[in-house]
Amino acid sequence: MTTHLFRDVALPGSDVELSDSRIDVAVTGDRITAIGFGLEAGAAEVIEGRGGPLLPGLHDHHLHLHALAADADSVRCGPPHVHTSDELAAALARAPGEGWIRGVGYVETVAGLLDAADLDSLHARRPVRMQHRSGALWILNSTACEAIRLETADHPGVERDDSGSPTGRVWRADAWLRERLPTSEPPSLVRVGADLARFGITGITDATPELPPDSLSALLDAHLSGSLPQRLHLLGVPSDGPAEPSLHPGGIPFPNTVTTGPYKIVIADSDPLDFEALAATVRRAHTHHRPVAVHCVSREALLVLLAVFDEVGSRRGDRIEHGALIPAESFQDLRRHGLAIVTQPGFLAHRGDDYLHRVAPEDLSDLYRCRSLLSAGIPVALSSDAPYGPLNPWSVIEAATTRRAPTGEILGAKERLTATEALDAYLTALDAPGGRPRTIRVGAPADLVLLDRPLAEAAAPESDPVRCTMIRGTIRFRR
Ligand SMILES: [Zn+2]
């Protein structure tokens, strides 16, 4: 019994003969069960396509769910909301509520690399923790340092001055910092789930490293309750336990819509690179049958990582996150190790002007490569890195096709993709980023997105082209 019928849709890319025609797609339960002209609706719910494209649901291959949820309640501390120290002080003063203020999106162009004393001069009354736009650094004012007794901390990420006093800067210590903060529930994911559905996203890879047990169970609970209906692929599941099932700390087995991905490793941009430590971490994950997903932003980090793979060996499914700077000389090694690049051209649209100032001119041609990687036979998947980059996939696809900075300058015209290529990089399976794009076919899961306009028009900044999103046969967004 057909449960839903998408009537009169276009199926771009799925079959040459059908691509220009309007056709019907029937769904029964959680599967596509028929594709054809003039299908009988019977008692099924009919969704009128009006000739709009029907696509497999999009997969965002790298984002951070809890950070996204927390982001909504945070003070914006950088461009385009805040540009100067006066504006930052005003924004902090306007923070709603009482107690802790959580700032996000700070970047040095606002007021330099702040320490606790600098931040005190902007806001001293309430405890403030302000996250750098990179996600790598928190800056705390003195009230916040006292509240969490930063003085007594033994975490290596707590920066200290020559006299041994904390500077207020805490690097890559999110899990540690969270433990010291007043206890609060992990933020609700209802809004994130709804936003993702509105954008046509039916599957996501959470790239948060080392998910603590409470975060992991909160993600699973949100999924099981339906508030986060998207398929989940988790990179932050610890590498030393059993991969699957029963990952839930409460002993609940994972449903088959939640999967363990490669093990996330962060090569800190701020620390000296430690070849032996990185090799040991990759080896340990591989020993536990986990590929690795390595955060790799700088050229140096990439070269060290490739040397590690030369020594340890690569494993099917190993991938590189961001790949912000990839010299052409590494293409051969990337291909030899079968590494996929999970990248974010959306950063060009948000921060491209900043890159033009801060990235060495000779490096600009290596910045967020796309086209040259594809041409070299290296798998490329697109993603948002939200909340650090723009979540909207239609904005990211547009950024991949234009590579236009906020100032209007083009960064790496040779790296532009067509809208279809960029969309394809959102359509691959969660466990095969950069692989073959999924297609609409009989027997495939009913993860579907119906657009109200052709793809070329859908790919635009702040675009809102989705008319209906279905996940496993249930409509999760419709307008
Ligand atoms: Zn990330």
CATH numbers and ranges of domains, the chain: 1-57+438-479 (2.30.40.10), 58-66+187-437 (3.20.20.140), 74-180 (3.10.310.70)
Centre of ligand 1 to C-alpha 64, Å, is: 6
Ranges of H-type helices in 181-247: 190-198, 213-225
pLDDT for residue 361 = 86
Average pLDDT over residues 430-445: 96
What letters, b where the CB count within 10 A reaches 16 and e where it falls short, cover 68-83? bbbbeebbbbbbeebe
Distance CA 167, CA 115 (A): 6
pLDDT for residue 179 = 85
Centre of ligand 1 to C-alpha 61, Å, is: 10
Centre of ligand 1 to C-alpha 41, Å, is: 43
pLDDT for residue 18 = 52
CB atoms within 10 A of CB 414: 12
Centre of ligand 1 to C-alpha 48, Å, is: 37
CB 275 within 8 A of CB 308: yes
Residues pairing with 178 in the sheet: none
Centre of ligand 1 to C-alpha 193, Å, is: 18
The answer to whether residue 254 scores a pLDDT higher than 80 is no
The answer to whether residue 183 scores a pLDDT higher than 90 is no
pLDDT for residue 16 = 45
Residues with CB under 5 A from ligand 1 (ion): 207, 385
Backbone angles phi, psi at 206, to 5 degrees: -85, 120
Query: Token pair of 69, please?
Result: 């949820």
The answer to whether residue 281 scores a pLDDT higher than 90 is yes
- 33 pLDDT band (50/70/90 cuts)? very high
Centre of ligand 1 to C-alpha 35, Å, is: 38
Distance CA 43, CA 254 (A): 33
Centre of ligand 1 to C-alpha 176, Å, is: 18
- 250 pLDDT band (50/70/90 cuts)? low
pLDDT for residue 244 = 52
Centre of ligand 1 to C-alpha 209, Å, is: 9
pLDDT digit string (tens) for 90-128?
A: 999 998 778 899 999 999 999 999 999 999 999 999 999
Average pLDDT, the chain: 92
- 268 pLDDT band (50/70/90 cuts)? confident
List Cα–Cα distances, 433 to 112, 201, 339, 378, 438, in angstroms: 37, 15, 10, 11, 11
Instruction: Name which of 16-25, 158-167, 376-385, 467-476 the model is least confident about.
Output: 16-25
Query: Token pair of 215, please?
Result: 């975060």
Quote the longest CA-to-CA distance of the chain: 78
pLDDT digit string (tens) for 413-434?
A: 999 999 999 999 999 999 999 9
Q: Is the dihedral of CA 242, 243, 244, 250 positive or negative?
A: positive
Centre of ligand 1 to C-alpha 387, Å, is: 9
As a whole-number percent, the residues of the chain with pLDDT over 90 amount to 78
Distance CA 222, CA 189 (A): 7
Distance CA 362, CA 30 (A): 50
Burial (Cβ within 10 Å: 0-12, 13-18, ≥19) of residue 183: exposed
List Cα–Cα distances, 63 to 316, 346, 392, in angstroms: 22, 12, 12
Give the list of residues 6+ apart from residue 332 with CB closer than 8 angstroms, or none: none
Centre of ligand 1 to C-alpha 340, Å, is: 16
Centre of ligand 1 to C-alpha 428, Å, is: 19
- 245 pLDDT band (50/70/90 cuts)? very low
Centre of ligand 1 to C-alpha 153, Å, is: 26
Nearest residue to 230 (alpha-carbon basis) of 267, 205, 262: 205
Nearest residue to 9 (alpha-carbon basis) of 55, 44, 42: 55
pLDDT for residue 439 = 95
Centre of ligand 1 to C-alpha 66, Å, is: 12
The answer to whether residue 29 scores a pLDDT higher than 80 is yes
pLDDT for residue 98 = 83
Centre of ligand 1 to C-alpha 400, Å, is: 18
Query: Token pair of 97, please?
Result: 């509520």
- 253 pLDDT band (50/70/90 cuts)? low
- 251 pLDDT band (50/70/90 cuts)? low
Query: Token pair of 80, please?
Result: 């385009």
As a whole-number percent, the residues of the chain with pLDDT over 70 amount to 95
Query: Token pair of 355, please?
Result: 């890159």
Centre of ligand 1 to C-alpha 442, Å, is: 34
> Strand locations in 348-472, DSSP E?
380-382, 448-451, 466-471
Give the list of residues 6+ apart from residue 59 with CB closer than 8 angstroms, or none: 201, 202, 203, 204, 205, 231, 426, 427, 428, 429, 430
Centre of ligand 1 to C-alpha 336, Å, is: 25
CA atoms within 13 A on the CB side of 66: 24
Distance CA 182, CA 165 (A): 23
CB 120 within 8 A of CB 130: no
Give the list of residues 6+ apart from residue 262 with CB closer than 8 angstroms, or none: 235, 285, 290, 291, 292, 293, 317, 318, 319
Centre of ligand 1 to C-alpha 269, Å, is: 13
Total-model pTM: 0.87
Under DSSP, is residue 309 helix (H, G, I), strand (E, B) or coil? helix
Give the list of residues 6+ apart from residue 50 with CB closer than 8 angstroms, or none: 8, 452
The answer to whether residue 314 scores a pLDDT higher than 70 is yes
Centre of ligand 1 to C-alpha 268, Å, is: 12
- 340 pLDDT band (50/70/90 cuts)? very high
Centre of ligand 1 to C-alpha 71, Å, is: 14
The answer to whether residue 19 scores a pLDDT higher than 70 is no
Centre of ligand 1 to C-alpha 343, Å, is: 10
Centre of ligand 1 to C-alpha 27, Å, is: 35
Centre of ligand 1 to C-alpha 431, Å, is: 17
The answer to whether residue 21 scores a pLDDT higher than 80 is no
Centre of ligand 1 to C-alpha 190, Å, is: 21
Centre of ligand 1 to C-alpha 208, Å, is: 7
Centre of ligand 1 to C-alpha 386, Å, is: 7
Centre of ligand 1 to C-alpha 1, Å, is: 42
pLDDT digit string (tens) for 124-151?
A: 999 999 999 988 899 999 999 999 999 9
Instruction: Name which of 63-67, 172-176, 200-204, 304-308 the model is least confident about.
Output: 172-176
Nearest residue to 342 (alpha-carbon basis) of 433, 431, 432, 415: 433
CB atoms within 10 A of CB 50: 13
Centre of ligand 1 to C-alpha 308, Å, is: 21
pLDDT digit string (tens) for 196-233?
A: 999 999 999 999 999 988 888 899 999 999 999 999 99
Average pLDDT over residues 290-302: 94
Instruction: Name which of 166-175, 246-255, 383-392 the model is least confident about.
Output: 246-255
Centre of ligand 1 to C-alpha 63, Å, is: 6
